[in-house]
Amino acid sequence: MKMKPTLILTISMIMLLMTACGKKHDNTVKIAQQYGLAYAPIQIMKEKGFLEEALPNNKIEWVKLSNTAAIREAVLADNLDVGFMGIPPFLIALDNGMEWKMMTGLSSCPIGLVTYDDNIKTLKDFTSKDKIALPQPGSIQHILLAMACERELGKADALDNQLVSMKHPDGFQALTAKQDIKAHFTSPPYLFEELANEDNHMVITGEEAMGSEFTFIAGACTEDFYTNNKKEYSALIEAINKSIEFMINNEDETLDILSNLYEMDKEKLKGYLNYEGMKYATDIQGVDKFVDFMVRNNYLNKSYKSEEVIWE
Amino acid sequence: MKKLYIRRFLWIGFFIIIWEVTYYSNVYARQIFPSIEQIIKSLGISLTKGDLLMQIGFSFIIILKGLLIGIVLSVLLSFFDYFFKNFSSLLDTIIGILHPIPGIALLPLVIIWFGVGEKAILVIIVHSVLWPMTINMKTGFRSVDNEYIEVSKNFGMNIWQIFYYVLIPLSLLHIVSGLKIGWSRAWRALISSEMVFGAIGPFGGLGWFIFEKRVYMDTPGTYAGLVVIIIIGMIMEDFIFGRLEKKCEEILL
């Protein structure tokens, strides 16, 4: 029986691992966001301590994750209570059996497909060799591009084989390097920086792709959090409202905080925040349109009504 | 040999049982912890209906290309390293600087210099395999007994002949173990770069397969991709490198 010690060791290791990542039941509220100007109200809320003020008996933890898949996995593993992301990746998770709904909108902003190639004026001008960078398949950028393809080229996946999945900063660099990335579907501040370069121009905006306004980033939480943490839930909604109001009423202080956090020039940032289409609001727009399109093109298995995807 | 396989299968069986127990205990959400059955089913579907076979092939070919370039370069570097003192100190410096840098950390630079095509991924793979293989080969050459070299010089061999007939055969075991390290480094480089910046080539390799499954939240598919990597790794370890090592030992005896 030489195997015995190793066996015991292995079993205890596994048990240790299981307890380490098991369910958490304490007062912590864990909130995840990603990078970019679309998350400005969260930054303000964090900096001004609005949520901590409303929930003095809770510990608030802020996490920055670089993609929606990581946020979803963390929520599933019970390491996160609230995650902020675009509507399509939220829907994909819901469709795969994740028990969660959206709790609030956060921002709408101009997003779009930028290229340096003067010959590319519409989607029809892309040749099969032109590569397009965007964050990942199933992201809001990808779904918007697919919507535009369906309308203009007759096929939602017409450009899918030319996609290269890249984080915004990498995509920005790749477009600037003018190597094999012809276009980049991105959001602020990368979009603004790219458009500030005279060589670049916009092929299609997010709104043109969608055909109407839509919420870019929304916050979602699990059923468990919604039903068992009512106080925390409403405190968070209130804090977001408070942050957005603060941004409107205290422009100078907002610019101070954000220019520090994003390491950006204040004047430049002011221009960005006042850019047409840059809007911070808690209502959620465009869900039905996303659902219809995603069901029609098999990104989702079944259709959802508004009340099935938004709490209350 | 047989005993080794029996033990290995026993361990794999043991892990499968633990896995299933964990699955049915519902500690983790089903969406992040699928059952073995779901994983195998997903693997079957991807193999028969999807691009998986092509993606495995793509990964394989690009890795072989990277390894081949890596081998040629490391043989050259080690040759000059052995016979030229000045070059040796230069190479040591270069290895000291570049070897610790993970391929992924070079990605932003590689994108700017080489774009995002096959060339870029090859650069990352070659970077990941070249340094460990060179270090191994150098060690192999240096461990060759100096007497053999002196004897060959007395026979009037030039450095190329010494290199080819004496150094290479006598350090074969080091070279094979360098190859083994290179092989696993190449996989890591390919998979992680595809997971960081997406498909390379028309349909991507295994890394892209895993990434795509993950973003569409097809968790059994994500695990299926990992299973493929494990199986390929085991096959290579047992059948290719294992045999290669044995052959080398026979030659040396």
DSSP type of residue A125: G
In a domain, B25, yes or no: no
Q: How many structural domains are present in chain B? A: 1
Average pLDDT, chain B: 89
Does position B133 have pLDDT exceeding 70, yes or no? Answer: yes
- Alpha-carbon distance of B127 to B102, in angstroms, equals 9
Pick from A105-109, A187-191, B113-117, B196-200: least confident:
B196-200
pLDDT, residue A118, reads 94
Which CATH number belongs to the domain containing residue B169 in this structure?
1.10.3720.10
Residue range B151-174: average pLDDT? Answer: 90
Residues 6+ apart with CB under 8 A from B253: none
Decide if B134 is inside a domain. yes
- From A14, A78, A177, residue closest to B111, measured CB to CB: A177
Nearest chain A Cα distance for residue B120, angstroms: 11
Question: Phi and psi (nearest 5°) for A258?
Answer: -70, -35
Round the CA-based radius of gyration of chain A to a whole number and report it: 21
- Helices marked H in chain A — which ranges? 4-20, 40-48, 50-54, 68-76, 87-95, 140-153, 168-177, 190-196, 206-210, 223-228, 230-249, 251-261, 266-273, 287-296, 306-309
Q: Is residue B102 part of a domain?
A: yes
For residue A272, give the amino acid letter.
Y
pLDDT, position B11? 92
- Which residues in B lie closer than 8 A to residue A17 (C-beta atoms)? none
Contact A166 B197 (CB under 8 A): yes
Contact assessment for residue A238 and residue A95, using Cβ atoms and an 8 Å cutoff:
no
CB A186 within 8 A of CB A134: yes
Range of the domain at B208: 48-252
Residue B12 lies in a domain: no
Residue A174 φ/ψ, nearest 5 degrees: -65, -40
Q: Which residues pair with A186 in a beta bridge?
A: A112
> What is the reported pTM?
0.84
Taking contacts as CB-CB distances below 8 angstroms, the residues of chain B near A11 are 18
**Residues of chain A neighbouring B114 (CB-CB closer than 8 A):** 179
- The span from the CA of A192 to the CA of A272, in Å, is 7
**Whole-angstrom distance, CA of residue A188 vs CA of residue B69:** 41
Q: Residue with structure tokens 């390929």?
A: B232
Model confidence pLDDT, tens digit, residues B5-20: 889 889 999 999 999 9
Q: Residues of chain A whose pLDDT is less than 70? A: 1-25
Confidence of residue B3 (pLDDT cuts 50, 70, 90): confident
Q: Which of B18, B30, B116 sits opposite A97 (nearest CB)?
A: B30
Report if residue B6 sits inside a domain.
no
Spatial neighbors of B217 by CB under 8 A, at least 6 apart, are: A69, A72, A92, A93, A96, A98, B31
Q: In the prediction, which pLDDT does B31 show?
A: 81
- Looking at per-residue pLDDT, the higher value among B2 and B18 belongs to B18
Touching check for B8 and chain A: CB below 8 Å? Answer: no
Indicate yes or no: CB of B28 within 8 angstroms of CB of A164: no
d(CA B40, CA B220): 8
Residue A152: per-residue pLDDT: 95
Is pLDDT of B21 > 70? Answer: yes
Q: Output b/e per residue, B193-217; b: 16+ Cβ within 10 A.
A: bbbbbbbbbebbbbbbbbbbbbbbb
DSSP state letter for B127: H
Confirm whether B232 is domain-assigned: yes
B115 → closest Cβ in A67, A161, A179: A179
**Cβ–Cβ below 8 Å for A170 and B114:** no
Q: Is residue B72 included in any domain, yes or no?
A: yes
Interstrand relation of A217-222 and A100-108 (parallel, antiparallel or unpaired): antiparallel
Looking at residue A159, what DSSP letter applies? T
Which residues in A lie closer than 8 A to residue B30 (C-beta atoms)? 97
Q: Is B23 on the interface with A (CB under 8 A)?
A: no
Gap from B111 CA to chain A (nearest CA, Å)? 6
A165 contacts B211? CB cut-off 8 A:
yes
Amino acid identity of residue B24, one-letter, is Y
Q: Do the domain assignments include residue B117?
A: yes
Per residue in B231-246, pLDDT (tens digit) is 998 888 888 888 888 8
Report CB contact under 8 Å: A136, B211.
yes
Integer Cα distance of B220 and B38 in angstroms: 6
Q: Which residues of B touch A167 (CB under 8 A)?
A: 196-197
Listed in sequence order, the DSSP H helices in chain B are: 2-25, 36-49, 52-83, 85-98, 103-114, 118-142, 146-154, 159-161, 168-170, 172-197, 206-215, 219-235, 242-252
pLDDT for B1 beyond 70: no
pLDDT reported for residue A22: 44
